[in-house]
Structure 1
Amino acid sequence: MKKLFIPFVLLGVSLNAQITTFPWTETFETSSTTAAAWTKIYESGTQEWSNVATAYYGYTTGAHQGDLMAEFDIDSFDGDATKYVSPILNLSSVNSPTLEFYYRNKDWGGDQNELKVYYRTSTTGTWTLITTFNSSISDWTNSGTLTLPSPSATYQIALEGVAWYGCSINVDDVLVKSGILSTSEFDKKKNTFKVYPNPTSDFINIKSEKRISEVLIFDLAGKRMNQIKEDNNEVKIPVHQLPTGTYIIQIKNTEGILNSQKFIKK
Structure 2
Amino acid sequence: MKNIILLAAAVCVAFSANAQISTPQISDFEDGTVQGWTNGAASPNQPTNIPTGGPLGADDNFLEEISAGGSGAGSKLVIQNDDSDWTGDYLGAGVGLFSADVKNGGTEDLFLRVALQGGSDNTRMYTDNSFTLPASQTTWTSFDLVVDNSANWTIVSGASTVEQVLQDVSQIRILSSQSGGFNGDAVAGVLHIDNITADDIFIGFDDNIFNNLVTYPNPVSDILNIESTVRMDNYQIFNVAGQLVSVGELEEQFLQVSNLSEGLYFLKLSNVSGSRTIKFVKR
Distance 2:123 2:168 in 1: 15
Distance 1:207 1:97 in 2: 15
Distance 1:233 1:38 in 2: 39
In the TM superposition, 1:103-142 aligns within 5 A as 103-105=102-104, 108=107, 111-122=108-119, 125-130=122-127, 131-136=129-134, 137-142=137-142
Indicate yes or no: 2:70 matched with 1:78: yes
For residue 177 of structure 1, the aligned residue among 193, 199, 212 is: 199
SS at match of 2:138: strand
8 A Cα contact 1:112 1:165, kept in partner:
no
8 A Cα contact 2:118 2:170, kept in partner:
yes
**Displacement of 1:31:** 6.6
8 A Cα contact 2:21 2:93, kept in partner:
no
Amino acid at match of 2:47: W
8 A Cα contact 2:114 2:126, kept in partner:
yes
Residue of structure 1 in register with 2:48 after alignment:
50
8 A Cα contact 1:84 1:159, kept in partner:
yes
Gaps of 5+ in 1: 1-17, 55-61, 187-193, 196-203, 215-229, 235-252, 262-266
**Displacement of 1:50:** 2.2
Distance 1:24 1:95 in 2: 11
For residue 188 of structure 2, the aligned residue among 162, 165, 170 is: 165
**Displacement of 1:158:** 0.7
Distance 2:91 2:70 in 1: 39
The alignment's C-alpha RMSD in Å is 4.0
8 A Cα contact 2:95 2:198, kept in partner:
no
Residue of structure 2 in register with 1:218 after alignment:
none
8 A Cα contact 1:113 1:165, kept in partner:
no
SS at match of 1:206: helix
**Displacement of 1:19:** 4.2
8 A Cα contact 1:123 1:156, kept in partner:
no
Indicate yes or no: 2:54 matched with 1:63: yes
8 A Cα contact 2:23 2:200, kept in partner:
yes
**Displacement of 1:169:** 0.7
Amino acid at match of 1:206: I
Distance 1:68 1:205 in 2: 35
Residue of structure 1 in register with 2:4 after alignment:
none
Residue of structure 2 in register with 1:98 after alignment:
97
Distance 2:102 2:96 in 1: 20
**Displacement of 1:27:** 0.7
Change (3 A) 1:256 1:179: closer
Change (3 A) 1:141 1:256: farther
8 A Cα contact 2:210 2:228, kept in partner:
no
SS at match of 2:122: coil
Distance 1:77 1:207 in 2: 40
Change (3 A) 1:47 1:31: closer
Change (3 A) 1:28 1:122: farther
Residue of structure 2 in register with 1:213 after alignment:
214
Distance 2:46 2:65 in 1: 6
Indicate yes or no: 2:253 matched with 1:257: no
Once the two structures are superposed, what CA deviation does each residue of 1:183-213 show, in whole Å capped at 9, x if it has no partner? xxx9xxxxxxx94xxxxxxxx96389xx613
TM-score using structure 2 length: 0.49
SS at match of 1:171: strand
Of the two structures, which has the highest relative contact order with CA contacts closer than 8 Å and spacing of 6 or more?
Answer: 2
| Seq. identity, % | 14
Change (3 A) 1:124 1:67: farther
Structure with greater strand share of residues: 1
SS at match of 1:118: strand
Gaps of 5+ in 2: 1-18, 151-162, 177-184, 216-225, 231-252, 255-266, 277-283
Once the two structures are superposed, what CA deviation does each residue of 1:51-85 show, in whole Å capped at 9, x if it has no partner? 2225xxxxxxx1124532111115x3437214322
Change (3 A) 1:232 1:52: same
